Structure 1
Amino acid sequence: MSSDLKQLNKLKKNSRRNNQLQEPKFVERLIKISRVSKVTKGGKKLSFRAIVVLGDENGKVGVGVAKADDVVNAFKKAKTDGRKNLITLPLTKSLSIPHDTVGQFGACRIIMKPAIEGSGVIAGGAVRIVLEVAGVKNVIAKQLGSNNLLNNARAAISGLEQLTTKAEVEKRRNL
């Protein structure tokens, strides 16, 4: 009798392990690691700043930034920051964006336009990484203004946040 209970408990434990919420697999891409220093009374204190973009290549993307004393910890902290800042964007059947959009952050402006199937991601720098990790396959983007990688990534995110579908617009008009 006790052996049956042990087997039953083992089954329960294993089923709990398998039934945990399966977190979707995120793709992490490093935009930049920079060495930063803070001048203190005792001298210079060196640390590292990591900028990471993560997404599921299916319409979810986020940008994370973090500082730590070593590169590995900075990368890990940036990943957790990116998970907190995830956004969801609508994708068309041709894996493009539904309409033109302009994203702004600081002195950066990003213009994004949908492209026909097969054209690929025509963008540069941090914007390209953000779009690829988000799962957008056909888009044309242009950076205007500042060249700052972090601000360009955040401007791209702000532009992607503004995207809506026809169904969402119809729903808002009917209310």
Structure 2
Amino acid sequence: MPDFNGDLVGTPLAAAAGANPYNVPNALKGGTDVVLMRDTIELITAFAQNDRVKLGDFPSDVIINPVQSTIWFDNLGASTTMDVGSTASEAALVAAQATSAAGSCLFYKNVDVANYWKPLWQVLGLAADPGGTIAIFAKLEAADPGVGTMTWQIVGQRRLA
């Protein structure tokens, strides 16, 4: 019965047997995730349909921890939904999350599990790494979003070899 290695760490380490076993990026093995952003906002009555909340500017090569990165919200209005993504792909991370009752969702709610542990630029579906930082926004979609609180925590680390 054969044994199989993982694609991101196991196979490179097996190929490096006897060579430098530390050629795997720290974001995949041996690294420590950090809080990239923790913030909160009180949404007010001036908040209108398609207004955006900037969740942060993140390095394009950052690896987001899909389990520890979460967005929490109050009841933000009847029939209100939230998309999360970049200007180029507004719903790449979260699409049409209902926010009409208090709750939460993972930052990578709509990201296919096959795209976990990839750099942010790839998760967003960009053709090439733009370098620098990528602004990530939450956009509320409703004719009249309500008032309430949105809070988020994004955890991960840069992909350094």
Q: Which has the higher helix share?
A: 1
After TM superposition, the score normalised by the length of structure 2 is 0.26
